[in-house]
Structure 1
Amino acid sequence: MPTQTLAPTRTWSTVLFDLDGTIVDSAADITASLAHMFSSLGLDVPSDDVLRSYVGPPLLDSLRLTAGFDDAEAWEALNVYRDHYGEHFLRSPVFPGVAGLLERLHAAGIPIALATSKPESMARQVLDHAGLSQYFTEITGASDDEELSTKADVVREALRRLQAKGIDTSNAVMIGDRGYDTLGAAANGVPTILVEWGYGSPAEAADTIAVVHSTDQLRNLLLG
């Protein structure tokens, strides 16, 4: 992805973070559970590139659109995946520098919210396990029944919760690694900074206000 600059420097009222590919490096654990899912269902396991494409978007949607499952098949596959992934998801490491960045933002008094398509209950466990929950004003993710799952809906819910606490969200920014993050944030009038260390392709940098390759660059854009 080409690195862009953000000008002029802005003061953000709150920062929203994606989880997978932005805070934690979870691709290997997710794709391993996906491979287990396909194998358990008696299906050919897709290539690594195809499995990796599942990382980020709501999985139920990807199972319908990418794998071609009908609703019943998608839910069966999702449950098989969750059973396996539930035993491995806490192994995913935090990307280098991210914990320090969250600590700096929190110390600066900038409200931070998580907005992830991962189930919220699981996302909370990930942040708790990594010792990062203390930095978040709100932790928002998909509902277990997938009624709340799209990035646009999750971002909207995160903003609603922040506003209910009296937090100014008029100048919010989304930090993510996929085009889904950009689109979901844009649906709520929120711009996105894309991180290169995640799982997105160069094409997914379109419509972002900046692309960064390091947490130092991101810190400079968020804190000046």
Structure 2
Amino acid sequence: MYTTAGAGAEGRPLPLPYVPTAVLLDLDGTLVDSAPAILMALRAAFSELGLPAQAPAELMRFVGPPLVDGFRLYAGLTGAANAEAVATYRRHYRETMLDSPLYDGAAELVRGLHAAGMPLALATSKHEGYAREILAHKGLADCFTVVSGARAGDVSGRKAAVIHSALQRLAAAGADLDRPVHVGDLDHDVQGARAEGVDCIGALWGYGSAEELRGAIALVTTPAELGALLGVEV
């Protein structure tokens, strides 16, 4: 694994073994600190559905992975009850999602990559329409060639599926996919990228740990370090 920790001279990150030709970025925990808004929506959904309240640490398990998995694994909901929970959560989340702040340096990273001509895709398990709204609200929508997320009627948002869709749409837009790389903060980012034959860079400023991201090709601790790894000054 390549890592920025104690890496090259003057603390610069060690280089990747290749120059990426396209970059896929996760949203929650990578570009946006969405946990407070997500937890607020989860508490509202649990209350409305009559589910037992969960502590903040327990609710944090829902942040990042597909909602259908969260409600199945951590609330015991399957089938129609699971779909209802996802829909209820999304309705509440829609009310506060635009309040989530960008991480320091995230906007500069995205704009720097775009200015350098790097094809960019957002690959998120979040509802695709919501992801587009968030990017537009943050002034970053024009930097992305592709936005790939869970579609209408899709309650899963499997990471491999949204990465697969992002790659297909990048290819259709004429992007060079010889060496794409995905950036995310959780194990399901690493696993989803691997399923599509793509390396993952782990974002340690998000919600995952170095141990969880041990399958990543590199670990970075700030958007500025990620920019340096990708050849962009942030």
TM tier relative to shorter chain: over 0.9
What is the number of equivalent residue pairs in this alignment?
223
For 2:182, the aligned partner's letter is M
> Residue 101 in 1 paired to residue 109 in 2?
yes
1:20 and 1:124 map into 2 onto residues whose CA distance is: 13
Measured after TM superposition, the shift of residue 65 of structure 1 is 2.1
> Residue 32 in 1 paired to residue 23 in 2?
no
Give 1:1-224 correspondences, 5 Å limit: 3=4, 6-146=14-154, 149-223=157-231
1:220 and 1:37 map into 2 onto residues whose CA distance is: 40
1:6 and 1:153 map into 2 onto residues whose CA distance is: 30
Structure 1: 5+ residue stretches without partners: none
2:155 and 2:127 map into 1 onto residues whose CA distance is: 11
Superposition RMSD in Å: 1.5
TM-score normalised to the size of structure 2? 0.91
1:10 and 1:177 map into 2 onto residues whose CA distance is: 21
| Farther-moved stretch of structure 1 (140-149 vs 130-139) | 140-149
1:21 and 1:220 map into 2 onto residues whose CA distance is: 19
For 2:222, the aligned partner's letter is S
> Among the aligned pairs, what percent are the same residue?
45
1:70 and 1:52 map into 2 onto residues whose CA distance is: 20
SS at match of 1:66: helix
For 1:56, the aligned partner's letter is G
Contact 1:195–1:213, Cα closer than 8 Å, also in 2: yes
Contact 1:141–1:154, Cα closer than 8 Å, also in 2: yes
1:148 and 1:173 map into 2 onto residues whose CA distance is: 23
Contact 2:126–2:149, Cα closer than 8 Å, also in 1: yes
For 1:123, the aligned partner's letter is A
Structure 2: 5+ residue stretches without partners: 6-12
TM-score normalised to the size of structure 1? 0.95
CA offsets, 1:19-53, max 9 Å, x none? Answer: 01101110000011101111112222111111111
Q: Which runs of 4+ in 1 moved over 3 A?
A: 2-9
2:176 and 2:71 map into 1 onto residues whose CA distance is: 37
Measured after TM superposition, the shift of residue 10 of structure 1 is 2.6
For 1:25, the aligned partner's letter is D
